[in-house]
Amino acid sequence: MKKYLILLIAIFVFSATDSFSAQDQALAIRNLKLANSYRENKDYNKAIKLLDGSKAKFSGKKDWNSKYWLATTYEYYGYIYKDMEHFDLAKVNLDKARSLFKELIKQKDGSPKALEGIEESIKTLDNEVNDIDPFSTANHSANILNFDNLKLKELPQGLPTKMNNLSLEKNRFKEIPGNLSSFKSLKYLNLKNNRINQITESLYELKNLVWLDLSGNKIKKINLGINKLSLLKVLDLSDNKLKDIPSEINRLKNLEILNLKGNKIPFDKLKNLIKSMPNTNIMHDEYVIKPEEDNQDLDVSPTDENDN
């Protein structure tokens, strides 16, 4: 009796899980179709977000339908990135879609009609991939990827690990994405006009950076370790909320330009920084000496207007 009870419970749990998966799959498929509609309306941010959700649902599943819709997800990624002129990303995702579809052709659990449709998809993908080949770079280390003004809060998926130029200006990052540290070849990074409040250690793993723009954020703190970015030539920290700069920044011997305009750094600290970095052009607010109303002490303060 006990054995039968356990068997019944197991069947019930399996059925409930299977039912939940079917509902989950149906929602993910609807989101795929909706993503394609957003793509047609050029709302790429919403389209990519929906695709990310669908990909998470289908990934790792072993049934034929899930694999089919995962391949379709990669196919839609490819079309979106092609529309955005990120041709390397488009090719990577279209290749993934094509490979998955080819695997499905070999499986016997798909219906003849579905397999016939997949063969047509593979032909279409062959044409798409061949069409974008002239735009692709042979070496991914030469990638220049632009995701400006897309309201992003996290990095898009599928970025080539060897890219060296990434622009994420005018998005909604509240912190420097931790997974940026995976892209060791990055030389140029633009995070201008986001909502970042501090420079964290994960950024310091990008030791090949030569140009870094963090202007127009809400940065109050630079964590120790910035001297690890030893190849840095240009560092833009203008229009943040900095009141201090760690002294180790003067160990950046290759730094040619340091922009500190639009911060609240006391003049004494700024003056010491200028003295310790004679080979760096330090851009800063103009300071004026104003007499105090109540006494004869002098107050050194930044002017209200920045010299742009």
Q: Is the pLDDT of residue 284 over 60?
A: yes
C-alpha span between 298 and 292 (Å, rounded): 6
pLDDT at residue number 150: 87
Instruction: Please state which of the ranges 23-27, 31-35, 179-183, 190-194 shows the lowest mean pLDDT.
Output: 23-27
Asked if residue 151 has pLDDT above 60, the reply is: yes
Average pLDDT score over residue span 95-101:
83
* Arithmetic mean of pLDDT over the chain: 77
- The more confidently predicted of residues 17 and 104 is 104
- In three state form, how does the secondary structure of the chain look? CHHHHHHHHHHHHHHHHHHHHHHHHHHHHHHHHHHHHHHHCCCHHHHHHHHHHHHHHHCCCCCHHHHHHHHHHHHHHHHHHHHCCCHHHHHHHHHHHHHHHHHHHHCCCCCHHHHHHHHHHHHHHHHHHHHHHHHCCCCHHHCEEECCCCCCCCCCCCCCCCCCEEECCCCCCCCCCHHHHHCCCCCEEECCCCCCCEECHHHHHCCCCCEEECCCCCCCEECCCHHHCCCCCEEECCCCCCCCCCHHHHHCCCCCEEECCCCCCCHHHHHHHHHHCCCCEEECCCEEEEECCCCCCEEEEECCCCCC
Among 106-115, 161-170, 200-209, 292-301, the least confident range: 292-301
Q: Which two tokens stand for residue 230?
A: 């030893």
Q: Where in the chain is the domain with CATH 3.80.10.10?
A: 140-302
Reported for 100-109, long-range contacts at CB under 8 A and 24+ positions apart, including other chains, are 100/67, 100/70, 100/71, 100/74, 101/68, 101/71, 101/125, 103/67, 104/64, 104/67, 104/68, 104/71, 107/64, 109/64
Taking residues 179-202, report their average pLDDT: 92
Position 287 scores a pLDDT of 59
pLDDT confidence bin for 18, thresholds 50/70/90: very low
pLDDT of residue 138: 35
The architecture (CATH level 2) of 2-135 comes to: Alpha Horseshoe (1.25)
Give the pLDDT confidence score for residue 241 in this predicted structure: 95
Looking at per-residue confidence, does 133 or 198 come out higher? 198
Taking CA atoms, 65 is separated from 15, 125, 260, 308, in Å, by 18, 19, 55, 57
Question: What is the band of 120 on the pLDDT scale with cuts at 50, 70, 90?
Answer: low
31 in Cβ contact with 54 (< 8 Å):
yes
The predicted pLDDT at position 162 comes to 82
Nearest to 303 by CA among 273, 261, 270: 261
Q: Per-residue pLDDT averaged across 274-284, rounded?
A: 90
Mean pLDDT, rounded, for 282-303: 54
Residue-level pLDDT at 256? 86
Is the per-residue pLDDT at 305 higher than 50? no
Which pLDDT score, from 0 to 100, does residue 28 have? 84
Range(s) within the chain of domains with CATH label 1.25.40: 2-135
Query: Which residues 6+ apart lie within 8 Å of 199 measured at CB?
Result: 176, 214, 219, 221, 222, 223, 226
Does 261 score more than 70 pLDDT? Answer: yes
For domain 140-302, the question of CATH label 1.20.140.10 is answered with: no
Under a CB-based contact definition with an 8 Å cutoff, are residues 259 and 245 in contact?
Answer: no
pLDDT higher than threshold 60 for residue 143? no
pTM: 0.55
Residue type, 218: K
For 176-190, what is each residue's pLDDT tens digit? 998 898 899 999 999
Q: Reply yes or no on whether the pLDDT at 302 is more than 60.
A: no
User: Does the pLDDT of residue 226 top 70, yes or no?
Assistant: yes
